[in-house]
Amino acid sequence: DAKTTQPTSMDCAEGRAANLPCNHSTISGNEYVYWYRQIHSQGPQYIIHGLKNNETNEMASLIITEDRKSSTLILPHATLRDTAVYYCIVRVAGDTGNQFYFGTGTSLTVIP
């Protein structure tokens, strides 16, 4: 399974864009990049996923480099409620089983 590397922590000013990087240099051609976040004392929440094209939904945007070895999750206008641990995961879409290696993620703190 491809593993990911993320910075341990980041700060972002409220109202500014939060850009969370993730390295996945060993990603395979059929593996997708998923992002989840975990707000304190809650279970993780799905944010977005993508294969090679950039993706956008109501929560965030996902930018994947052309070589697919890294990606960036963008929260366009961070709010205090976005303070959470963000996990970048790679996995074959549609597979199940022991596949979601969450790692320790990036702890994002949004500062007023």
Verify binding: residue 7, another protein, rule CB under 8 A. no
Residue 100 CB-density burial (10 A; 0-12 exposed, 13-18 middle, 19+ buried): middle
Which residues in the 45-74 window bind another protein by CB under 8 A? 45-46, 49
Asked if 23 and 69 touch (Cβ cutoff 8 Å), the reply is: yes
Measured torsion, CA atoms of residues 26, 28, 31, 33, in degrees rounded to the nearest 10: 30
Pull the structure tokens for residue 35. 């992002």
Q: Which is nearer to another protein, 8 or 66 (CB)?
A: 8
Verify binding: residue 100, another protein, rule CB under 8 A. yes
Which residues in the 12-31 window bind another protein by CB under 8 A? none
What is the total count of residues that contact another protein (CB under 8 A)?
Answer: 22
Q: Which is nearer to another protein, 36 or 75 (CB)?
A: 36
- Identify which of 47, 28, 46, 22 has the alpha carbon closest to the alpha carbon of residue 104: 22
Verify binding: residue 103, another protein, rule CB under 8 A. yes
Contacts with another protein by CB under 8 A lie at: 32, 36, 41-46, 49, 87, 93-98, 100-105
